[in-house]
Amino acid sequence: MPDIAELIRSCDEWITPELDKVFDPSVSEDITVKAAKYSLMAGGKRLRPLMMKETSKMMGLTGIDEDIRYYAATLEMIHTYSLIHDDLPAMDNDDLRRGKPTCHKAFGEGFAVLAGDLLLNTACERLMSIAVSKPEYAYTSYMMMVRAGLNGMIGGQSIDLASEDKKIDLDLLIELQDKKTGALIKTAVVTPYMLSKKLTAETAGADEDYKLLINLASHIGLAFQIKDDILDVTSSAEVLGKNVGKDARDEKSTFVTLLGFDAACDYLNKEACGAREVLGKLKERGYATADYEILTDYLVNRDM
């Protein structure tokens, strides 16, 4: 039975070479490319690629591993661009990310804006490029962009920015997080399955496994965010690789500041149970859920 460190290491070996070849070496002197690569290769846990790899393993998807990896790298590029822009002084104003200076600290704000734009644009180029040869993937690509957009990540980020210096209620916080971090986690969990089934708007709506995966991703996404808020209180910058105690200092509404520490922990456990329940159903349907259970436990118990 692998442990989480082994799953993360194995994912890292799988995804890093794919990320490393995103930009042609002939353009490696361009400062925007350097800035984009700096953030893209800064490590991190690669949770979204890991979820994609694990969905693929759980459901026994064979023959499309190269495509899944291509989409995993593309999603990681979208995630990384959002971190770069999110860290800017005009947004969250963070100096530290994944234990290193943030992109704008290392390359200046102008190149950080451009590096983010470049990662998003290149992700779109990749999705359009594969649409040329594999039109059956177009709906999956479309949904990746939708979940990165106004009805997903950007929409959540917008609520977040509009809520600065304001107390928001729990419903809005849940909507914010469901969009800001939940949407890309949904993409990660469902994309391999969507690719393998060549899902369309019509077939996705009627697919039981797809619905279970979306449900699983909702619980995982919320648990992930609640844990993030808890770690901002209990962890240290050394362990976490980013600044802590910031939420309270900025009077930011989080699951901890809104609910209190104990209730936030209860909420986390409730979501973790929800995730395990869905995994139980997937197991009944014959899928190999063992690694996903390890992943879920990790998300709840992690200290970074």
Q: Interface with a copy of itself by CB under 8 A: which residues?
A: 23, 27, 30-33, 81, 85, 88-91, 104, 108-114, 116-118, 120-122, 124-125, 127-129, 131-132, 135, 138-139, 141-142, 145-146, 148-150, 154-155, 157-159, 161-162, 200-201
Torsion from C-alpha of 172, 178, 179, 185, nearest 10 degrees: 170
Q: Which is nearer to a copy of itself, 124 or 294 (CB)?
A: 124
- Least distance between a copy of itself and beta carbon 31 (Å): 5
> Under a CB-based contact definition with an 8 Å cutoff, are residues 209 and 181 in contact?
no
Torsion from C-alpha of 202, 192, 241, 80, nearest 10 degrees: -60
- Least distance between a copy of itself and beta carbon 125 (Å): 5
Residue 301, class by beta-carbon neighbours within 10 Å (0-12 exposed, 13-18 middle, 19+ buried)?
Answer: exposed
Distance of CA 89 to the CA centre of its chain: 22
- Least distance between a copy of itself and beta carbon 167 (Å): 18
- Least distance between a copy of itself and beta carbon 242 (Å): 19
Q: Which is nearer to a copy of itself, 148 or 230 (CB)?
A: 148
Q: Which is nearer to a copy of itself, 38 or 139 (CB)?
A: 139
Query: What residue type is assigned to position 93 of the chain?
Result: N
Q: Which is nearer to a copy of itself, 14 or 111 (CB)?
A: 111
Phi, psi of 101 (to 5 degrees): -55, 140
* Three-state SS at 97: strand
Task: Report the residue count for the chain.
Answer: 304
Nearest to 122 by CA among 59, 157, 78: 78
Q: Which is nearer to a copy of itself, 126 or 276 (CB)?
A: 126
- Least distance between a copy of itself and beta carbon 88 (Å): 6
- Least distance between a copy of itself and beta carbon 276 (Å): 33
Q: Which residues contact 139 (CB under 8 A, 6 or more apart)?
A: 194, 199, 200, 201, 204
Would you state the structure tokens that stand for residue 161, as one six-digit string?
Answer: 């920015």
Q: Which is nearer to a copy of itself, 117 or 209 (CB)?
A: 117
> Under a CB-based contact definition with an 8 Å cutoff, are residues 156 and 181 in contact?
yes
Cα three-residue angle 94-72-216, rounded to 5 degrees? 85
- Least distance between a copy of itself and beta carbon 58 (Å): 26
Q: Which is nearer to a copy of itself, 122 or 225 (CB)?
A: 122
Nearest to 1 by CA among 293, 273, 303, 216: 293
Nearest to 71 by CA among 180, 189, 179: 189
Q: Which is nearer to a copy of itself, 121 or 269 (CB)?
A: 121
- Least distance between a copy of itself and beta carbon 300 (Å): 31
